[in-house]
């Protein structure tokens, strides 16, 4: 049974391991300050079969162009291609749809699997931000219109 629950400090080590094995953090050689997002109540983990299968960090309130914003999402390597990403995105979209009709996220130009994933669940590329995270790395802005729930 898959459950999505608020992230706790005890989840951080597992989430750091997921980040270390996932793009874009591997290529960018960056991490995430999970404690900050736990305090802001924006971080969640996905539990599957008693293990952390993934995490997501998002802001459901309209913070960008009247929409919510996905800050990070990752699925543990052992759980990829099992619908965990779709489940977590549906969760974030449902929470955001209570406050806004729009949801945004950024994807690094080199992250082909993420670009394909977001397109498959209805996101459109609507902009680009050159050199945002690192010189020479282009970030694409993706958007989806949400239906009110």
Domain definitions of the chain by residue range:
2-145
Kindly report, residue by residue over 35-70, the tens digit of the pLDDT.
999 999 999 999 999 999 999 999 999 887 889 999
Q: In 3D, which of 146, 76, 86 has the Cα closest to residue 116? A: 86
pTM of the entire predicted model: 0.93
In angstroms, what CA-CA distances link 1 with 18, 48, 59, 92, 111?
Answer: 20, 6, 25, 18, 29
Encoding tokens for residue 23?
């793009």
Kindly report, residue by residue over 11-34, the tens digit of the pLDDT.
999 999 999 999 999 999 899 999
Looking from the CA of 42 toward its CB, the CA atoms found within 13 Å total 20
Q: How confident is the model at residue 148 (pLDDT cuts 50, 70, 90)?
A: low
Instruction: Give CATH superfamily name and number for 2-145.
Output: Gcn5-related N-acetyltransferase (GNAT) (3.40.630.30)
* Helix or strand holding residue 132 (H, E): none
Task: Give the largest Cα separation in the chain, rounded.
Answer: 42
> Phi and psi for 51 in degrees, rounded to 5?
-120, 155
């Amino acid at each position: 049974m898959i459950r999505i629950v608020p992230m706790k400090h005890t989840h951080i080590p597992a989430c750091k391991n997921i980040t270390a094995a996932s793009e874009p953090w591997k290529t960018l050689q960056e991490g995430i300050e999970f404690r900050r997002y736990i305090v802001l109540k924006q971080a969640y983990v996905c539990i599957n079969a008693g293990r952390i299968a993934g995490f997501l960090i998002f802001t459901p309130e309209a913070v960008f162009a009247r929409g919510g914003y996905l800050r990070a999402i990752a699925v543990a390597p052992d759980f990829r291609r099992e619908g965990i990403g779709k489940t977590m995105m549906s969760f974030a979209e449902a929470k955001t749809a209570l406050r806004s009709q729009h949801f945004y996220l950024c994807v690094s130009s080199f992250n082909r699997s993420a670009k394909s994933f977001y397109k498959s669940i209805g996101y459109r590329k609507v902009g680009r931000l050159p050199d945002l995270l690192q010189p020479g790395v282009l970030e694409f802005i993706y958007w989806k219109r949400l239906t009110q729930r």
